[in-house]
Chain A
């Protein structure tokens, strides 16, 4: 099984919204779809789901044309959708039935997910009577109800309190362990780092970075140095031409071109008999890579 997106193109008039986007999800797990606002993430998802007409390109599932009506797909849209005047149960049954489930199957699944997401008490309430976080649980259930093979989660954790964030994360991990193919779009880089093995970063419709997250990080090398000394190293740093990325009360963060450059700096500090409290070389975070690729 593999979900493949090949050369996807979409434009509105003269404006190119998605420019020749390609990626593939070869194994179950979470794939990260990142980008700034207006980068083309939602347009890409809508084209994949067949809601928007593609100007060019293909989306395939197991070598056949992917269609969310044929391949069981759960979708949690960024702009949450719910019938505010209808009861939780009524609308979840409807969503389940539209996914091809019988009423009995839908009821069984609803009960399971309401219990799993600690929302059983809201079963017969109108959606408008629920808090935003609980409404999000109902929308998450709508995506999960039919036990889909493909899950598309657009900002799944935004607006949740820490308790519910952890609950959602647990469910996502469970879905990964069940062999689901998940596409996750988020601005929370820590979430993407926590879940995604592979990702693509879009900027104004163009792919600026794609591949395996570990490989991407490795390609950057350990070029971030965190330094904390019991003495003044400012003069030394100014003379070294190293770029200070961040300076606070606790430590100084520097950008180094190589590990050798960092080692040389350490030697200089020790020669000056300054005590080193913290000396840490690390790879850049996804946040830092994202900022570097798409700019401020």
Chain B
């Protein structure tokens, strides 16, 4: 194989594919989608968090959608509710009910004011705090709930103080108790670790599937186009079939890696950019997704190994697609011919998916060593650091051996059937042709 010609084919493949509408449109759509989706990861929690904060701050003395609260305290708690609520809701007007409960309830049925009735009672099963809002929607049930919970909290604190608990002890008791469940071995995992181990493998798996599917299709369709347009005959006067097929696969692979890198770069820029926007314009205290911290969790060696599996995975499927392309001579046969390859890649993808979900299962072992699923699965194992060197080495060897065998077979097919025209050749036909060639 002449390297010079191989590079010329690669260069031409890249140049023409980049100029094509399909590449431009798909790249633009993907990058816009990545930009939107990744920025939403920062925007949505920040916006929702801000809403939550506004309710929370209402408890701390800012706003609540209630102007007047009439209260009836039939309990034995004897709490200075007014003082407590004044701190929580400075604008709330708390008045002791002078009318009967029934009269106030009647008033609430027709009132358009932002008023509520608060009733504190002592039942046999415990204390009750009721907040009754008007029939009209002037006061939301959420605001009513906030008021009820705040009163409940004031009453509880009052009970504790009455029982002899000091203000200092009360402050300690108010500290929330957080709970979390870990699997043994993962006890030190942070959110970034979880993203690296769970989210990245899934995203990587899907990206590889996309690249294999689309770029593989482009390799096959490019070969078929050269056969149908009869350019192949002209090309073969100055190049060898292997230079053409390898040049095409490498050219498409180069584009795939470029597109893959541009997706990652866009995601990175989007995370950083959206994070900065959130901090500046939405909420300075918002928790943003720290992509740098997440990427920092992945060692360089792991990145290299993942890229290696990605490239080998692409090459494996690209060679199969090139083989399929060589066996047909009509563009309309391409979709039918490529279907078995699509099935293999889908099975490989789902095997890897199932293996990621249950890494100790038999499926995981199959996905590790079967060359059609290994490129999807091994990167996730590398990221979660659950793959042994021997295991990965064996998987890598099987994958490389499969690629070599398939490439040699494709080269043989190419040299024999590249100028074939007419109906699609099946495996049986290929061996018949091989027989005739001997």
Taking beta carbons and an 8 Å cutoff, which residues of A are in contact with B? 11-13, 46, 49-53, 68-69, 73-75, 77, 79-86, 90, 94-95, 97-100, 139, 142-143
Chain A residues lying within 8 Å of B9, measured Cβ to Cβ, are 98
Measured CA separation A149–B275 after assembly (Å): 65
Contact B230 A98 (CB under 8 A): no
22 sampled A-B residue pairs with Cβ under 8 A:
A11-B436, A12-B436, A13-B436, A46-B233, A46-B419, A51-B236, A51-B418, A53-B415, A68-B237, A68-B238, A69-B237, A69-B238, A77-B233, A79-B233, A81-B231, A82-B230, A83-B16, A83-B225, A84-B229, A85-B20, A90-B16, A95-B234
Pick the contact of B234: A12, A46, A81 (CB < 8 A): A81
Measured CA separation A23–B236 after assembly (Å): 23
Measured CA separation A188–B129 after assembly (Å): 106
Instruction: For the complex formed, measure the closest distance between the CB of B239 and the CB atoms of chain A, giving whole angstroms.
Output: 6
Contact B16 A53 (CB under 8 A): no
Most buried by A among B225, B231, B237, B415: B237
Q: Which of chain B's residues 228-262 have a Cβ closer than 8 Å to chain A?
A: 229-240
Measured CA separation A139–B233 after assembly (Å): 12
A98 and B238 contact, Cβ closer than 8 Å, known pairs A46-B419, A77-B233, A83-B229: yes
A81 and B232 contact, Cβ closer than 8 Å, known pairs A46-B419, A90-B15, A90-B16: yes
Closest to B421 in A: A79
Measured CA separation A11–B234 after assembly (Å): 23
Contact A81 B419 (CB under 8 A): no
Measured CA separation A278–B8 after assembly (Å): 64
Contact B240 A69 (CB under 8 A): yes
Query: How many residue pairs at the A-B interface have CB separations less than 8 Å?
Result: 73
Measured CA separation A77–B225 after assembly (Å): 17
Instruction: For the complex formed, measure the closest distance between the CB of B179 and the CB atoms of chain A, giving whole angstroms.
Output: 62
Pick the contact of B8: A12, A83, A98 (CB < 8 A): A98
Chain B residues lying within 8 Å of A81, measured Cβ to Cβ, are 226, 229-235
Contact A99 B238 (CB under 8 A): yes
Any A CB within 8 A of the CB of B266: no
Pick the contact of B236: A49, A94, A139, A142 (CB < 8 A): A49
Q: Which of chain B's residues 404-425 have a Cβ closer than 8 Å to chain A?
A: 415-416, 418-419
Any A CB within 8 A of the CB of B437: yes
Chain B residues lying within 8 Å of A11, measured Cβ to Cβ, are 436
Closest to B2 in A: A69
Chain B residues lying within 8 Å of A100, measured Cβ to Cβ, are 238
Closest to B9 in A: A98
Closest to A14 in B: B436
Any A CB within 8 A of the CB of B27: no
Contact A82 B229 (CB under 8 A): yes
Pick the contact of A77: B8, B230, B238, B415 (CB < 8 A): B230
Chain B residues lying within 8 Å of A143, measured Cβ to Cβ, are 234
Most buried by A among B15, B229, B231: B231
Measured CA separation A79–B227 after assembly (Å): 11
